[in-house]
Amino acid sequence: MKERVILAYSGGLDTTAIIPWLKETYDFDVVCVCIDVGQESELDGLEERAKYSGAEKLYILDVVDEFAEDFIMPGVKAGSVYENAYLLGTSYARPLIAKKLVEIARKENATTICHGATGKGNDQVRFEINIKALAPDLKVIATWRQPEWTMQSREDEIEYCKAHGIDLPFDASSSYSRDRNLWHISHEGLELEDPAQEPNWDHLLVLGTYPEKAPDEAEYVTMKFEKGVPVAVNGKEMKVADVIRELNRLGGKHGIGIVDIVENRVVGMKSRGVYETPGGTILMEAHKQLEELILDRDTLAYKKLIADKLADMIYEGKWFCPLREALCAFVDSTQERVSGEVKFKLYKGNIIKAGTTSEYSLYSEKLASFTTGDLYDHKDAEGFIHLFGLSMQVRAMLDKENGR
């Protein structure tokens, strides 16, 4: 029997060209694995294409619910955002994909896993360190880093396939490089490679519309949370994946969650991309609004440190490691009382507060009101201010005495 290789298969031109290349270069039997994390129509026709291109078989694994509940929600509950803008859409998916690739490798008695991530990107890091964490004995082939891989463009790949009797419905003309899942869609390439150029919004956007073309009338939305997890939208109970789908629909309609950023990749270079995360942006904001009502000041402040560290780790692909697990355990402990309802309205790219309620709210109208009440004596602030600023006062006094 030939050795078997598991190919992370998206159905795109790159991974389709890899199938005959693996057979020709290494004499492998190729088993394709496509992990369904919410690509929707992108999965159409994959089995026929993979078999036509020479694969022994194709697995399509629906892991959307696991993706939403076990990979996206830990980041949402933490409030993790990479470099103040990126909501980690691709980053959440990669460790789950690696996990499923390893599972199929064991099932098929494969010795090797292959991916088509480039040598300049983040995904090669994310895939490979998670495979190492779960199956250190498996070999990994990264095609774009192999000396035998000589194709450097879409045109090269199309010609290679044609030379091997594979005629594919791909066009060599320019198109964006995209990655889509339940949480987001990313766009790179074309005019985006020049930070001086404005994106071609009419040609670019997939999940929604630009705020300028969004409806002129605002739309109210309510969300219910239990222990930090969304359980209902506009009074209708639903699982997390369906919450995200519904928020994607609402957010896309109103131009929510479009981000144009230059980010720092793991491998050291800067890259420019546009991300559409309409539902994720709404969910993150609603969760934040609820937390500010419930969590105390010290917990909120420390949780922000955790969120930033966790965002870096998720971006770098460090999912299956003890620190990520420990940080998420801390976050889960902060979510025990994060239950309640958030109301807001969507209008031309904006999420506008319209009321938040929770039985665990720490907000006290008796304390916060300008009206004097029994719980707080204004005179108590005098002693607090004296002690709170004592070190600054002492320093100023000593400076004056010493002529500084």
Q: State the residue for tokens 């959307």.
A: 64
Half-sphere exposure of 147 (CA within 13 A, CB side): 0
User: Is residue 94 annotated as a catalytic residue, yes or no?
Assistant: yes
Which pair of structure tokens corresponds to residue 48?
A: 């026929």
| Catalytic residue from among 4, 49, 94, 180 | 94
DSSP code at position 171: -
Rounded-to-integer distance, Cα 299 and Cα 56, Å = 53
Query: What φ, ψ does residue 387 adopt, rounded to 5°?
Result: -70, -40
User: Is residue 14 annotated as a catalytic residue, yes or no?
Assistant: yes
DSSP class per residue in 212-223: GGS-SS-EEEEE
Strand-pair category, 185-188 with 340-347: unpaired
Half-sphere exposure of 235 (CA within 13 A, CB side): 1
| Catalytic residue from among 4, 91, 123, 272 | 123
Half-sphere exposure of 362 (CA within 13 A, CB side): 12
| Catalytic residue from among 70, 177, 178, 312 | 177
Rounded-to-integer distance, Cα 183 and Cα 203, Å = 21
User: Is residue 391 annotated as a catalytic residue, yes or no?
Assistant: no
Rounded-to-integer distance, Cα 53 and Cα 18, Å = 9
User: Is residue 177 annotated as a catalytic residue, yes or no?
Assistant: yes
Rounded-to-integer distance, Cα 288 and Cα 267, Å = 31
DSSP code at position 309: H
| Catalytic residue from among 10, 14, 154, 245 | 14
Rounded-to-integer distance, Cα 135 and Cα 105, Å = 10
Ranges of beta strands (E only) in 184-253 are 185-188, 219-226, 229-233, 236-237
Closest CA to 68 of 277, 229, 204: 229
Catalytic residues: 14, 94, 123, 177
